[in-house]
Amino acid sequence: MTSTALMTDMYELTMVRAALHTGQAFHRTLFELFPRRLPSGRSYGVVGGTGRALEAIENFRFDDEQIDYLVGAGVADDMLAEYLASYRFTGNVTGYPEGELFFSGSPLLQVEGSFAEAVLLETLMLSIYNHDSAIASAASRMTMAAEGRPIQEFGARRTHEEAAVAAARAAWIAGFSGTSDLEAGRRWGLPVSGTAAHAFTMLYDTEEDAFRAQLEWLGADTTLLVDTYDIDAAIHKAVELTGGKLGGVRIDSGDLSTEVKHVRRLLDSLGARQTKIIVTNDLDEYQIAALRGAPVDGFGVGTSLVTGSGHPTCGFVYKMVARTLSDDPNAPMADVAKASTNKKTLGGRKFASRALDDQGVAQAEVIGINAAPRVGSNDRMLLTELVSDGTIVGAEPLQAARDRHEAARAELPLDAHRISNAEPAIPTIILDEQGHDLENVYQAGPAPQNI
Amino acid sequence: MTSTALMTDMYELTMVRAALHTGQAFHRTLFELFPRRLPSGRSYGVVGGTGRALEAIENFRFDDEQIDYLVGAGVADDMLAEYLASYRFTGNVTGYPEGELFFSGSPLLQVEGSFAEAVLLETLMLSIYNHDSAIASAASRMTMAAEGRPIQEFGARRTHEEAAVAAARAAWIAGFSGTSDLEAGRRWGLPVSGTAAHAFTMLYDTEEDAFRAQLEWLGADTTLLVDTYDIDAAIHKAVELTGGKLGGVRIDSGDLSTEVKHVRRLLDSLGARQTKIIVTNDLDEYQIAALRGAPVDGFGVGTSLVTGSGHPTCGFVYKMVARTLSDDPNAPMADVAKASTNKKTLGGRKFASRALDDQGVAQAEVIGINAAPRVGSNDRMLLTELVSDGTIVGAEPLQAARDRHEAARAELPLDAHRISNAEPAIPTIILDEQGHDLENVYQAGPAPQNI
């Protein structure tokens, strides 16, 4: 992996430039990355990006070419250039593990280190978490709506080519079965799938020629795309050519709920009872839910997945919440917060737990400021160690995140399964150091943006 | 640049795998990339991605590690692996140049080559064009609404880190003044900007200490962020510290139209008449338009830019429209088209011109099938040569695309300046070989998705 260090807003560097001269660059600070609230209509969010963020921190190094650019562009002076040349993140990071759910105010990532080393990570951490969590959150709604039927991720063509690779990864964490994106398959070990497009059918003089070629060279268990010309004729031919052993048919157009019932009856009447029906026409969680009663064996989802199904970014922010008053690394940290209209932040280190009742059903996201909230016997602490003194300690296989997502989602109350105009599935309760409830701190105000 | 070849849907490779065995892989084909229609409410679109697409075609090579992966994953058999190892695109590409406007059905890219070499580019071309054109189209609405006042691109933190670099590039083509993204500055030579965030103010014991540090080490022409605590107090202090010579103030919260009038009056009353006011709070083209009468000197736009302001992808498709009936490269090509419900395509090579009246005002997008449409003396032909026999011939400096965008947008009728619920600024007229008008071919039907 190449250096990630320049995927950073210029102001992170100019702040460090000034603070190096005054000495504040080395004061110890704590930054937190969190959502002020869930997107409207969503009952929960899914943490995506943790694994990618840890790799990005490891590769956050400024090479000579990058530093030459920064000096030439007037961004860095000599003192900053020297600092950047030896930059390594040496601090500590804690956070929600990947695949975990989040709610308003959940402290998803906590970066503790000198001001310089912590602030330089701001843009990149936000890019990764805002993108990957938006995709994971949308994907989770889709797998929930699919009720166990497999969903393939087919969205590469609808988003930036590198975003597509990350999107496939996030979708897999949230329960997708695989992806069409080969680089995602290679890079992350995801199952890949794909057979043929309409162009393949049109490449041959007849649909039958195309089917014969695909069946001969990809096998009878392939999935044939049957809607290039006439669906019924295509299905008759496909079943005939395979003696009823055809693996699957894909339908990519028309009114799917009507179409699939008709196709299922037709396949059955021709004896192709094992042939699966895969649908792929502009699906999202609402369409998938609407196909609950329909004989669909699998879904392919593209656009709506990679665009976060209406919420392409999460609106996470990265705020300094505490700092020392000197560059003595052992000095105690003081809470800090800003007071801007509608963009207040809560100072102090957050602790987080998910309160569960006796049946293991989630009741609340409990966030304590500067003190771990009292927890019941069944509650789960949510923060885990990710980086310790600059060493990555939180890396894990993707399967762990996938399993965690499934388990955490299963804890939600039934209301969380509502996909239209949903309310947050559980409330966020914020307790100060004395355990007093700070009501609704993160619930009000307009959607956040801070640049 | 590393290989782009695996940023590809698996089915592109399985189609080639089967077609290699039957010989059809070497039949000459023509694919076209186009929008079926503009997104609802938009009066025009802006072509983004051409330059990146040409680089991606040049770097579309399969290395040993990639081929090993494909064989190991069961995607490639020996014949396909051998083909991929020597893959180079040797065909021809024509298309709209970058920065040009587009409308329903505009043939943005035409890829002619063997089926194998042309179909393998499908996913990557769509990824690049769908993303970059979505951003360029949104950016153009914002620069139009800003009426000449500069807009900085500050959205890196709201999108995937590599998408952010491409977004900064697309925004610059559509008239943005610069970006906060340092990698975009380095890679594309864009102007970069940025000074400080709220965290910098909070790093110091007093706001005055922070302002002093920033002014001393970044210069008096820096932009101070004045809304961390109390705006009025901050402005008094900032003017006092600079003797009225402060470069700018940035406001990132509150109701901007009220706020900036107040801040302007305050600055003027303190003698800081040259101090600029930059606003950055969750802006989009509607907000920018609403600030037309307000004393704002510059805008910073983040989320809405990188998410395409409600249309994060363009819905472009890539369809085979003609092919030869044999692998003789000189055989004539026959039109091909599919008949799927609501997803019909028009076979045949498209020609395109923008009809302009005597005053140079755009009247229509005229698309001829298999024949150049008759053009008036003032009309512009829109297709340009991009790749010739595998050699990139359409590369150009970014400035050329930026200039083209400005000139093309200036041709639009006044109606195009409507940003809410707009209709296409000009109609698309499609003419068959005899010059007959094929009415409304691309206007009807649901939003497209084809995977």
Find residues 333-372 of chain A whose CB sits inside 8 Å of chain B: 336-343
pLDDT at B334: 92
Q: Where are the beta strands (DSSP E) in B17-73?
A: 28-35, 45-46
pLDDT at B1: 54
Beta bridge partners of A437: A431
Say whether pLDDT at B362 is over 60.
yes
Tokens of B90: 């040797």
pLDDT tens digits for range A184-209: 999 999 999 999 999 999 999 999 99
A254 vs B10, which has greater pLDDT?
Answer: B10
Q: Please give, rounded to a whole number of angstroms, the shortest distance from the CA of B257 to a CA of chain A.
A: 14
Say whether pLDDT at B450 is over 90.
no
pLDDT at B397: 98
Question: What is the value of pTM for the model shown?
Answer: 0.96
Say whether pLDDT at B201 is over 80.
yes
B256 vs A175, which has greater pLDDT?
Answer: A175
Which of A70, A160, A218, A311 would you mutate first to test chain B, the one with the most B CBs within 10 A? A160
Element (H, E) at B110: strand B109-114
pLDDT at B449: 37
SS3 for chain A is CCCCCCCCEHHHHHHHHHHHHHCHHHCEEEEEEEECCCCCECCCEECCCHHHHHHHHHCCCCCHHHHHHHHHCCCCCHHHHHHHHCCCCCCEEEECCCCCEECCCCCCEEEEEEHHHHHCCHHHHHHHHHHHHHHHHHHHHHHHHHCCCCEEECCHHHCCHHHHHHHHHHHHHCCCCEECEHHHHHHHCCCECCCCCHHHHHHCCCHHHHHHHHHHHHCCCCEEECCCCCHHHHHHHHHHHHCCCCCEEEECCCCHHHHHHHHHHHHHHCCCCCCEEEECCCCCHHHHHHCCCCCCCEEEECHHHHCHHHCCCCCEEEEEEEEECCCCCCCCEEECCCCCCCCCCCCCCEEEEEEECCCCCEEEEEEEECCCCCCCCCCEECCEEEEECCEECCCCCHHHHHHHHHHHHHCCCHHHHCCCCECCCCCEEEECCCCCECCCCCCCCCCCCCC
Nearest CA in chain A to B201: A338
Query: From CA B394, how far away is CA B20, in angstroms rounded?
Result: 30
pLDDT tens digits for range A422-446: 999 999 999 988 888 876 555 433 3
pLDDT at B342: 57
Q: Name the average pLDDT for chain A.
A: 93
Mean pLDDT of B208-222: 95
Q: Is B123 on the interface with A (CB under 8 A)?
A: yes
Q: Do B300 and A451 touch (CB under 8 A)?
A: yes
Beta bridge partners of B324: B333
Kindly list the domain boundaries of chain B, sorted by start residue: 10-136+314-399+416-431, 195-296
Query: From CA B367, how far away is CA B349, in angstroms rounded?
Result: 10
| Residues in contact with B207: Cβ distance below 8 Å, sequence separation at least 6, in sequence order | B201, B228, B229, B233, B234, B237
Q: Do A17 and B281 touch (CB under 8 A)?
A: no
Nearest CA in chain A to B281: A449
pLDDT tens digits for range A381-396: 999 999 999 999 999 9
- Alpha helices (H) along B160-244: 161-173, 182-188, 198-203, 207-218, 231-242
Mean pLDDT of A26-45: 96
Confidence of residue B348 (pLDDT cuts 50, 70, 90): very high
pLDDT at B441: 57
**With contacts defined as CB-CB under 8 Å, which chain B residues touch A203?**
15, 19, 24, 27, 29, 115, 320, 323
pLDDT at B189: 97
pLDDT at B256: 86
Q: Do A7 and B320 touch (CB under 8 A)?
A: no
Among A149-163, A357-371, B331-345, B346-360, the range scoring the smallest mean pLDDT is: B331-345
Say whether pLDDT at B326 is over 90.
no
B254 vs B340, which has greater pLDDT?
Answer: B254
pLDDT at B445: 39
pLDDT at B329: 74
Q: Is A230 on the interface with B (CB under 8 A)?
A: yes
Nearest residue to A393 (alpha-carbon basis) of A19, A123, A57: A57
A7 vs B442, which has greater pLDDT?
Answer: A7
**Residue B340 in contact with residue A254, Cβ under 8 Å?**
yes
Mean pLDDT of A23-28: 96
In CATH, what is the architecture of B195-296?
Alpha-Beta Barrel (3.20)
CATH of domain A10-136+316-348+382-428: 3.20.140.10
Query: From CA B113, how far away is CA B110, in angstroms rounded?
Result: 10
Q: Do A197 and B73 touch (CB under 8 A)?
A: no
Confidence of residue B448 (pLDDT cuts 50, 70, 90): very low
Find residues 157-196 of chain B whose CB sits inside 8 Å of chain A: 157-166, 180-183, 185-186, 192-196
Mean pLDDT of A117-125: 98
A3 vs A383, which has greater pLDDT?
Answer: A383
What percent of chain B is modeled with pLDDT above 70? Answer: 95
**Residue B47 in contact with residue B136, Cβ under 8 Å?**
yes
pLDDT at A343: 64
pLDDT at A421: 87
A-B interface: how many C-beta pairs under 8 angstroms?
Answer: 376
**With contacts defined as CB-CB under 8 Å, which chain A residues touch B153?**
none
pLDDT at A141: 98
Mean pLDDT of B176-189: 98
Confidence of residue B159 (pLDDT cuts 50, 70, 90): very high
Q: Please give, rounded to a whole number of angstroms, the shortest distance from the CA of A440 to a CA of chain B.
A: 20
Q: Do B253 and A343 touch (CB under 8 A)?
A: yes
Nearest residue to A109 (alpha-carbon basis) of A122, A96, A126: A96
Query: From CA B224, how far away is CA B233, in angstroms rounded?
Result: 13
Q: Do B306 and A325 touch (CB under 8 A)?
A: no
In CATH, what is the architecture of A147-310?
Alpha-Beta Barrel (3.20)
pLDDT at B446: 38
CA B85 distance to own-chain centroid: 32
pLDDT tens digits for range A353-381: 999 999 999 999 999 999 988 777 889 99
Say whether pLDDT at B281 is over 90.
no
Query: From CA A200, how far away is CA A180, in angstroms rounded?
Result: 17
Confidence of residue B447 (pLDDT cuts 50, 70, 90): very low
Domain B10-136+314-399+416-431 fold is nicotinate phosphoribosyltransferase (3.20.140)
pLDDT at A188: 96
pLDDT at B340: 61
Among A119-133, A174-188, A323-337, B227-241, the range scoring the smallest mean pLDDT is: A323-337
Say whether pLDDT at A36 is over 90.
yes
